[in-house]
Structure 1
Amino acid sequence: MWALVLVTVFSGEAAPWQQPLPADTAKPSVGTSCASALQPYIKTTLYFERPGSLTTAGQRKWQAFIREVLVRHFPDGGTILENIGWWRDPDGKVAGGRGNTLIVLGAPEKVAEHRRAAAAVVAEIKKRYQQQSVLWEESAVCASF
């Protein structure tokens, strides 16, 4: 494994985490495999440390973030789950704490718009709450409302 990492680092190619996202025109490949009652969607899941404290002031800031960032970028809706997680920080120390999981679905024909919205939310989380990283997961799903 180390040889692969060294080859990647010294070959001048971008490391996997530096590779661009798939082309904005790519659509989830679920169109023909969805059951008749379901429709294809692109599902974006963002995992991030819970910003702010649980105080009244912290809750007001969190509600403002939902209004100003999440609703603005994903006006059709989404789900926020509370979680507890752990991670290894850049200096090798294991840390953990409360977090949130944001789940949003987007129409496959609007995948470029959906990805731009997700990127804007990730950037705002990092900026507003000084987060080192936000885990961004994307998949093609079938769903019905």
Structure 2
Amino acid sequence: MSCQPIVFSGRWRLCAAAIVASTVAWGQPGHAHGPDAPAPDPLQAACTALHAPPVLQVSLLFGLNRPDGGHVSQRDWTHFVRDIVTPRFPAGFSVLRMTGQWRDERSGRIIREPSRIIWVATPFTSDLRPQLEAIRQAYRQRFGQDSVGLVITPGCAAF
């Protein structure tokens, strides 16, 4: 198993937990597996060992600079989160303040801008994709953005 840190995902913590949980589980009677038995899933083993159900870790990445030279104000951001994000994830999420960096494809320039990440730990449901797309589309339309980043990684969580 290769565990390389991935920006924004916290995956390295899950990999470490999975390795520990797998090692502990394999050392217990009844957990040995022969050549015909499938190898245990390290993420499932970690979730089970930690008594934490499987979830998807969703990070939505929002730049706050507008193409017209303006900025998304704190008031505009607060209204967006209240009106668009909260109804779709009423159980909760986290908002992180960041500085983002990206390369403009046309000019090749490095752009830095204030950013926000909304991080949600959520089970996979059939309505997850439409919820995420509605948030991304609303932000693009409301603030004239070209894109809203989306990073999804498997994990487990207990609150």
State the TM-score, normalizing by the size of structure 2.
0.63
Equivalent residue, structure 1, for 2:53: 39
- Are positions 1:98 and 2:121 aligned together? no
Aligned to 1:72, the other structure's residue is in SS state coil
Q: Residues 44 and 118 of structure 1 are in contact (CA less than 8 Å); yes or no, is this contact kept in structure 2?
A: no
User: Residue 50 of structure 1: CA displacement?
Assistant: 2.2
Q: Which amino acid aligns with 2:53?
A: Q
| 2:100 is equivalent to residue 116 of structure 1 | no
The DSSP-based 3-state class of the residue aligned with 2:127 is: helix
Q: Write the distance in 2 (CA, Å) between the matches of 1:122 and 1:116.
A: 10
Aligned length: 112
| 1:1-145 equivalent positions in 2, closer than 5 A | 30-31=43-44, 33-34=46-47, 35-50=49-64, 53=71, 58-91=73-106, 92-108=108-124, 110=125, 112-145=126-159
**Could you tell me the percent identity over the aligned residues?**
27
Unaligned runs of 5+ in 2: 1-41
Structure 1 stretches lacking a partner, 5+ long: 1-28
Task: Call closer, same or farther: CA 1:131–1:86 in 2, change over 3 Å.
Answer: same
Q: What CA distance in whole angstroms lies between the structure 2 residues aligned with 1:85 and 1:61?
A: 19
Where do 4+ consecutive residues of structure 1 move more than 6 Å?
A: none
1:72 CA drift (Å): 1.6
Q: Point out the structure with max Rg over C-alpha.
A: 2
Per the TM alignment, residue 60 of structure 1 is displaced from its structure 2 partner at its CA by 2.1
Is the Cα contact below 8 Å between 1:41 and 1:141 reproduced in 2?
yes
Whole-Å Cα distance in 2 between the matches of residues 132 and 93 of structure 1?
Answer: 16
Deviation for aligned residue 1:30 = 4.4
